């Protein structure tokens, strides 16, 4: 049972992250390589706030979201105006900067050793103890995230984002402030990812920089595209694949030392195959990253 709860929480966290990323990658069609960075901002903010100041959960969400939003604005201000390739590089740069800060800002993040012993989250003066309660809490928060992303996608704002994905110049010609919209999508996505990071820190009670580096960002991109970028159930399906496949691999005899590498190889091959032969993803309807006449 504890094992099932563990898998369930992991799955929920990934689903939340996938939908947050899908707002940028699937709906708007921009490649964002620092999703794990935002996720890390959330986790580290929660860890520091909770350990040092015993702050309540809502306060951690607020501060984590704010920090992530500031980072997102800083990075998108210079790069969103430019061609999308620049934005990819800028987001890559932000990912490296954040990873290096986690490694080197030792007084706050404790460097490569990471922060351990993160206390349980405080909800209305009560500690949320026990894995089942944490599962319910995660379910509620991730449910909110998925619900709000789905709602955003079908709102006028979301339709404008879809228009940007299909043809940015056309969207501009229709009077949509495309740069502002792209920035808004990016900032919202970053804040949501940081909220998931808060949950992750409280659940794992231990965080270190390796959980938030560029490889993790690439995994998130992989899972969204595998499932189907910009589709209703695609991100959830992708998250399920990425969480459940390693659990499945556990039953096959693969030495622990090479397990992550085998996983990465399988994912990269799957990603390439999906990009070439099924660009709409496993559950998707629109072809990701193709010149289409939507």
Partner 1 sequence: MYFQNLVNGLCAGCGYALVALGFSLIYEVCRFFDLGQGGIYVVAFYAAYVVQEWGGLSLPKEFLVSAVIAAGLGSLVYILVYHQLRRRGARNVTLLIASLAVLMLLQNVIILVFGPDIKTIRGNIADIPLQFQGAHFSFAQLFMVIAALVVYALVGLVRMYTPLGRTMRAIGNDSELARIVGVRTERVIVATVAVGSAITAIAAIVKGMDVDIGPTDGLSLVLMAWVATILGGRGRIGNTLLAGIAVGLIGNGVTIWTRTSWQPIVVYTVLLILLFIRPRGVGAIRTSAFEDR
Binding residues for partner 1, rule: CB under 8 A, are: 29-31, 33, 75, 77-79, 81-86, 88-90, 92-94, 96-97, 100-101, 103-104, 168-169, 214-215, 218, 221-222, 225, 258, 261-262, 264-265, 267-269, 271-272, 275-276, 279, 288-292
Q: Cβ 88 to partner 1, closest distance in Å?
A: 6
Q: How far is the CB of 91 from partner 1 (least distance, A)?
A: 11
Q: How far is the CB of 235 from partner 1 (least distance, A)?
A: 15
Q: Which is nearer to partner 1, 81 or 126 (CB)?
A: 81
Query: How far apart are CB 205 and partner 1 at their closest, in Å?
Result: 27
Residue (56 or 246) nearer to partner 1, CB: 246
Nearer to partner 1, 249 or 275 (CB): 275
Distance CA 86, CA 17 (A): 23
Give the span between the Cα atoms of 275 and 23, in whole angstroms: 19
Token digits of residue 66: 């704010």
Burial 43-79 (b: 16+ CB within 10 A, else e): bbbbbbbbeeeebbbeebbebbbebbbebbeebbeeb
Identify which of residues 56 and 259 has a Cβ nearer to partner 1 in the complex: 259
Contact in structure between 60 and 50 (CB atoms under 8 Å): yes
DSSP state of 273: H
Q: What is the rounded CA–CA span in Å between residue 240 and residue 234?
A: 10
């Amino acid at each position: 049972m504890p094992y099932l709860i563990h898998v369930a929480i992991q799955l929920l966290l990934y689903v939340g992250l996938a939908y947050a990323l899908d707002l940028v990658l699937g709906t708007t069609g921009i490649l964002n390589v620092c999703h794990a960075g935002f996720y890390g901002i959330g986790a580290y903010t929660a860890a520091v706030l909770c350990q040092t100041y015993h702050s309540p959960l809502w306060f951690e969400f607020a501060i984590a979201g704010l920090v992530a939003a500031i980072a997102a604005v800083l990075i998108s201000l210079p790069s969103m105006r430019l061609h999308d390739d620049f934005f990819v590089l800028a987001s890559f740069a932000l990912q490296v900067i954040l990873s290096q800060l986690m490694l080197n800002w030792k007084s706050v993040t404790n460097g490569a050793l990471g922060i351990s012993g993160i206390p349980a989250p405080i909800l209305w003066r009560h500690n949320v103890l026990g894995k089942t309660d944490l599962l319910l809490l995660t379910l509620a928060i991730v449910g909110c995230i998925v619900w709000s992303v789905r709602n955003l996608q079908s709102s006028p704002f979301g339709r404008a984002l879809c228009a940007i994905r299909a043809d940015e110049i056309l969207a501009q010609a229709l009077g949509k402030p495309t740069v502002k919209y792209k920035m808004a999508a990016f900032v919202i996505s970053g804040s949501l990812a940081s909220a998931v990071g808060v949950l992750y820190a409280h659940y794992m009670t231990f965080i270190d920089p390796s959980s938030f580096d560029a490889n993790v960002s690439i995994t998130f991109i992989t899972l969204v595209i595998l499932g189907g970028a910009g589709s209703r159930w695609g991100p959830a399906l992708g998250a399920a694949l990425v969480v459940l496949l390693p659990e499945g691999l556990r039953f096959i005899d693969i030495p622990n030392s090479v397990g992550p590498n085998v996983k990465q190889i399988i994912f990269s091959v799957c990603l390439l195959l999906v990009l070439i032969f099924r660009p709409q993803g496993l559950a998707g309807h629109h072809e990701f990253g193709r010149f289409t006449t939507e």
